[in-house]
Amino acid sequence: MEFTAQTIADFLKGTIEGNPQETVTNISRIEEGKKGTLAFLANPKYEKYLYSSEASIVLINRNLKLEKKVNTTLIRVDDAYQSFASLLNLYTSTLPQKKGIDTNCHISDSASYGKDCYIGAYTFIGDQVKIGDNVKIYPQVYLGDKVQIGDNTTLYPGVKIYNDCIIGKKCILHASTVVGSDGFGFAPGEGTYQKIPQIGNVIIEDNVEIGSNVSIDRATIGSTVIHKGAKLDNLIQIAHNVEIGENTVVVAQAGIAGSTKIGKNCMIAAQAGIVGHISIADEVKIGAQSGLSHSVKNNGEILLGSPAYNLSETKRSMIIYKKLPDMYNKINELEKTLREIRENIK
């Protein structure tokens, strides 16, 4: 589809600098901009490309001060990154939507689904499953008995949702994610481990997006809960009875052990590990590869390292780490001097 700068600016409530009738039919990265494409500039590190980009239209922040002349039509907006995301959402909404039920799938007679659904080939839908309107279920998805799927949710190929789990509205679960597998519960005996049945479920609230190959364990008793607006990256492990707060972001390869409660608007970076049975306050940030072994009571705290400590404490420690070789040499010199003094005294 073709859009003019004026149309885009009207949609984004932006201000045009250049030709309002400039047109684009595709998008590009600003460093690879070509005639007929739209790009955006949000990260200051890429500003140098703005002055050489051949993109026909570039979205920039309103407060950006240009260092020199540009050869492209600019649209100034409050937040270039969010505006670009809005345009992508507008574009994807115009694409053809899959609908219909493939003949090569199994749907239990006691299951139900709403209008305008798509159910792909080799999907299995168990007894008493309830599926809302406009749900997209791609091939080879498994829905166990009594699963509930809310309106406008998308399940990509190979998603497995075990019995009794509940998925809210406008959720996206990417390929090969597993929801509701057994939590890791075993009672140690004399050289053996007795399995503890996991009889709870998983509840995923509205507007949650989960990446590919994520494992979310069902609760031993009660529910493992992912609250509304949370975003989970690929390759994450969420153990039984974990609770993740609203709009919290968890990045790739993080692991959260059982019964941990995480607050709202938190950010957990890649490969972070969090032990079980602790609580984390709202708006907490945990750095990449951190190992958190204690509860965090203060909102907005930032933690780094393994074991994870408060950011200011970690920075002080890092300064000392850098000085350790010099301190080691000074200690050796002091010990040498002390030995010489003792020998002279003798």
Record the pTM.
0.86
% of the chain residues with pLDDT over 70: 100
Give the separation between CA 208 and CA 251, rounded to whole angstroms.
14
Res 92: pLDDT: 84
Mean pLDDT, rounded, of the chain? 95
Confidence of residue 93 (pLDDT cuts 50, 70, 90): confident
The mean pLDDT value for 218-225 works out to 98
Positive or negative, the CA dihedral 158, 164, 168, 169 is: positive
Give yes or no for a contact between 76 and 61, defined as CB atoms under 8 angstroms apart: yes
Q: Please write the tens of the pLDDT for every residue from 95-144.
A: 888 899 999 999 999 999 999 999 999 999 999 999 999 999 999 999 99
**Topology at the third CATH level for domain 3-93:** 3.40.1390
| C-beta neighbour count of 146 within 10 angstroms | 17
Contact 235, 213 (CB under 8 A): yes
Instruction: Assess whether pLDDT exceeds 80 at residue 151.
Output: yes
Written as six digits, the tokens of 82 are: 């969010």
Q: What is the structure's pLDDT at 269?
A: 97
What kind of fold does domain 159-307 have according to CATH? UDP N-Acetylglucosamine Acyltransferase; domain 1 (2.160.10)
Map out the domains of the chain as residue ranges.
3-93, 159-307
Q: Enumerate the β-bridge partners of residue 59.
A: 40, 75
* The pLDDT of residue 234 is above 80: yes
At 310, the pLDDT band (50, 70, 90 cuts) reads confident
d(CA 254, CA 211): 12
103 burial class (0-12, 13-18, 19+ CB within 10 angstroms)?
exposed
User: Tokens 């600019």 map to which residue?
Assistant: 74
CB atoms within 10 A of CB 52: 12
- Is the pLDDT score of 313 beyond 80? no
Return the pLDDT at 345.
86
Residues with a catalytic annotation lie at 240
What is the tens place of the pLDDT at every residue in 254-287?
999 999 999 999 999 999 999 999 999 999 999 9
Taking only the tens place, the pLDDT of each residue in 32-41 is 999 999 999 9
Per-residue model confidence as pLDDT tens digits over 16-57: 999 999 999 999 999 999 999 999 999 999 999 999 999 999
